[in-house]
Amino acid sequence: MGNSIFQSIRKNKTGILLIMLAAFSTSVGQMLWKMSGHFLDGYFVIGFFLYFCGALLMIVAFRFGDLSVLHPLLSMGYIFSLFLGSIFLGEHMTPFKIIGTCIIFAGAALIGGGDAD
């Protein structure tokens, strides 16, 4: 089983990298929207651009890996958002958020390694 996880990651590595960049880009874009003071200020425009780039990266990523592996990895965006909100917006990390983050990460890791031929 351990070897099959590495085979799956090797098989989908470009797609995994792109989908992780997509999740991070959309998370930063959404954070900038929240930081925006009003419609069409700098934060909003940059956030929109990053969200758009994340969407494009997601589309491209699906060409380099299996949908059943890559799409669930978009859930990493929740983890990125939690840390970005905590660091840049002063949002509080609760024990339940930390436990939830660990569960999301474990699930994404298990799914990402689950399709070796």
Rounded to two decimals, the pTM is 0.86
First to last CA, the chain: 11
Q: Select from 90, 77, 93, 75 the least CA-distant residue to 34.
A: 90
Domain boundaries, the chain: 2-112
Confidence of residue 1 (pLDDT cuts 50, 70, 90): low
C-alpha to C-alpha distance for 84 and 109, rounded to whole angstroms: 21
Amino acid at 58: M
Q: 22-26, 29-33, 78-82, 112-116: lowest mean pLDDT where?
A: 112-116
Residues composing the chain: 117
Residue 2: per-residue pLDDT: 58
Residue 9: per-residue pLDDT: 79
Residue 28: per-residue pLDDT: 97
The string of pLDDT tens digits covering residues 35-94 is 998 878 999 999 999 999 999 999 999 999 988 889 989 999 999 999 999 999 999 999
